[in-house]
Chain A
Amino acid sequence: MEYYQQKLANGTALHMLPLDHYKTTFVGINLYCGLGKERAVTGLIPYVLQKGSSTYQTARQLRSRLAELYGSQFGAGVVKRGEQQLLQLRLQLVHDSYVADGKSLLEECLDILRDVMLNPYKENGCFKPEYVAIEKKNAADKVRSLLNDKSRYAFHRCLAHLCPDRDYSNNKFGTVEEVDSVDAEQLWSKYQEILAAVPAEIFVCGSYDHNRVVDGINSRFNWTRSSEAVLDPATPLKGQNARTVHEQMDITQGQLVMAMTTDINQADSRYPALVLYNGILGAFPHSKLFQQVREKRGLAYYIGSNLDSIMGVQFVSAGIDAESFDETVQVISDQLGQMCKGEITEDELEWTRTGLRTGLLQMYDDLGEQVSLAIDGRISGRRWAIPQLLDELEKLTLNDVVEAARTMKPQVTYFLSGGEG
């Protein structure tokens, strides 16, 4: 299974991936906006778009029509990947064979998507100020409510300490102050700039009729664009000195987040080795971290590691008691040390290889994950296909894993805890 690809007359890339065992068709439009100074402006746009279009002037009218079309799901939002802010519009509809009376939903749903994206509801040539005001409040509230989820909050604090001068440290909605300062005119002109110039991609996946999709997309999404800006490959983070940061809050469980940098990211040919290394260390229940921190010592309920393979960062996170901080950090460091020395058992290596293989095979069934893989490839500058990753994974040796481990540089050990942590 591979993508069918085409360029629309306006330069927009169309990727199509048939998954015939799906009961739905998925359409996703991605605009690569960067996470720079205007992030708060960009972050508001998809929410204001959902408030109304020229045909469906209120959210209620829009949602009612979608409900009638067998609950077709429409969503718009922003997603942070590396230092990119993706403005996304998503549509999912039931395939015709599950719709009564031989009706067909595809064209009408594409009309709605087009209407929301390209004909937003306007007053005096601009977004409606009331709509903008509501969504400014909601965006500021989302920034405030980050605190409601302690592990997410701790992760963001760790990022803030890790790279304060990089766009990567920013929240996708910006700060409350940044959101407050946006006005309707600014929002409108930013959106016009985005439509005209930023890289744009359309993904269609699932069960669909190829020719109808090609016609449907080409006839509706050929909006006027000047020239598409070039998307520079992501710049991985640079390592600095290791540092430890403690912050306090009135909470029951301490939140530990450790960040490490590496010069390997998805653009690097050693990327599969990095994934295998991360798997052995902390991505599975059989991994070193889960076995040593939870199973052997009972220090945590959750403990694991994950990668930001665009930025070349690995995070280890755990929920622990404040008094276990020193012991937990020591155990984690010991495991990192073992990885560098190649103290990895045959089982650890092979079980991880097999586990990753299963994950890759299962990815064939998950359209969301396949689209993410393609997006990450676009951002990092190198696109990996599932068969290629499967192939590379089989060839990797213990030595490749050790070499990947040795590129890791400890950066920030962040701990959020109650009382005297």
Chain B
Amino acid sequence: MEITCKSYHLLGEKLFSATMDNGLQCILLPKEGFKRKFAVLAVPCGSVHRKAMVDGREVTLPGGVAHFLEHKLFEDPGANVENRFARLGASVNAFTNHTMTAYVFSTADNFNQCLDLLLEFVQQPAFTQQGVVDERSVIAQEIKMYADQPYWSAYLGTLKKLYGKHAIAEDIAGTLDDLQRIDYRVLRDCHRFFYHPANMVLVMAGDLDSSELFQHVAENQQSREVGPPPPAVQTVDPAPEQPEPADESREMEVGRPLFNLGFRDAVPANWQQAQHKETMAGLLLEMISGKNGDFYNRLYDQGLIDSSFALDYTTSPWYSHLIFGGETDRPDDVAGEIKAELHRWRTTGWDWSQIEQNCNKLVGHFVMELNSLETTVMACATDWLQGVDYFKRFEMLQNAQTKDLKELLQSLNLEQPCMHVVRPASCK
């Protein structure tokens, strides 16, 4: 096992990495002085991973399967997994997003024992047929909880308008109908297709020693039976052509209207490009709509937006989009302003004098986020899973070129915006 160490002097950070014999990639971020210790085991199995090629045949899985599997890996024949962590004084959690499932624990003591437990429960499923059936009602409550959240509803509504029928536009937990189609066999298949050690990334952070720790992981993995290499090539459907844009609104029990306005963006060729694009988008959007800019303050002073105004830029080789959102009494006016501002940036108004100020701002924020082990560990795992290094983003920010930002402005599809508005229910 070869351990590589990279130093990021400007950030005062080090990153140790090694690949185990079975292909598991391990990373340690040593954090001297911290009492907290974290580890995340990330698996490239998200809500968009719904297909696999098995023995030359394409297998399709139901919606919500990655998330359901995340729940069921916590089943344990003896105590349940939460209890086994509790015994060690640690807490465990997991979540599923579009592109991955992540299992994370946090502790102050017993780090190696926690690590063994994490690797065991994720790599060696112990769920039962009955357990799968019982879990449906819990996940149904989770789906219902999200159904009552107007922000989530506006976000999903916008994705549906942007992508039509594609896994990216579906609820991560699936639908209540999907739950009935997920059984023991489906979950076992999903685990077999996506959970090979060679696909996973383990990221750890805390006041820990790298050589001792990597040795421990190596021994743990040697003692574990590893099945044959994954039988499948996982595939994700590329996003289909955008349907004809149409704005949509729905009524819910809300106190104020809220909106999401989305634009598709050209997809990058690979994850390296995606990382670069996302970093540049962070900078460009800070320049266009940051709190230190004209646009935000003008709309704020007109009473069109308030501090709930936010945006999200997401990109991957399969889908790519920019979504603005917030609460407002006048969604149509806000949408009009956003569209006009983006067009203005693309055609006439290049206020590039702001680039240095906004670079400084994001560089500072990058450093501040390193105070949080959770944030750093998750960001590292997300990037490493796609073969890219999180700390590269810091260099990219420092080397940002106006040409990168101009390219991004051109690649956004400003011609086909889609809006989803949630309005207060009319009086009955």
Chain A residues proximal to chain B, CB less than 8 Å: 20-24, 58-60, 63-64, 66-73, 92-94, 97-98, 130, 134, 137-138, 141-142, 144-150, 249-253, 284-286, 290, 294-295, 298-302, 319-321, 347, 350-352, 354-355, 357-358, 361-362, 364-365
Contacts and interface: CB of A to CB of B under 8 A. Distances in A.
Interface of B: 10-12, 31-36, 80, 82-83, 86-92, 106-109, 134-139, 141-142, 144-145, 147-151, 252-256, 258, 290-294, 297, 300-301, 303, 306-308, 327, 329, 357-358, 360-365, 367-368, 370-371, 373, 425
A319 B145 contact: yes
Given A71-B362, A73-B368, A252-B148, A148 B141 contact: no
B303 A137 contact: yes
A102 to B, nearest CB: 13
Nearest to A361: B108
14 contacts: A21-B31, A24-B371, A64-B292, A67-B290, A70-B361, A145-B308, A148-B254, A252-B147, A298-B138, A301-B142, A321-B141, A357-B108, A358-B107, A362-B108
Given A23-B12, A150-B148, A141 B256 contact: yes
Contacts of B11: 98
A47 B137 CA distance: 44
A66 B292 contact: yes
Contact of A148 (B80, B150, B363, B371): B150
Given A67-B361, A145-B327, A354-B87, A362 B106 contact: yes
Contact of B294 (A60, A71, A295, A364): A60
Contact of A67 (B141, B149, B360): B360
Given A321-B141, A362-B108, 4 more contacts: A98-B12, A252-B144, A253-B147, A354-B88
Contacts of A362: 35-36, 106, 108
B82 to A, nearest CB: 4
Nearest to B327: A145
A72 B86 contact: no
A301 B86 contact: no
A316 to B, nearest CB: 16
A317 to B, nearest CB: 12
Nearest to A143: B255
Given A21-B34, A294-B138, A355 B86 contact: yes
A251 B80 contact: no
A295 B80 contact: yes
Contacts of B303: 134, 137
Contacts of A97: 12
A60 B297 contact: yes
Given A71-B361, A94-B364, A365 B91 contact: no
B371 A364 contact: no
Nearest to B150: A148
B177 to A, nearest CB: 15
A72 B364 contact: yes
Q: Which 10 A-B pairs have the closest CB atoms?
A: A21-B33, A71-B364, A70-B364, A147-B255, A354-B89, A285-B82, A71-B361, A298-B137, A63-B292, A301-B141
A285 B90 CA distance: 11
Given A70-B364, A144-B255, A319-B141, A354 B36 contact: no
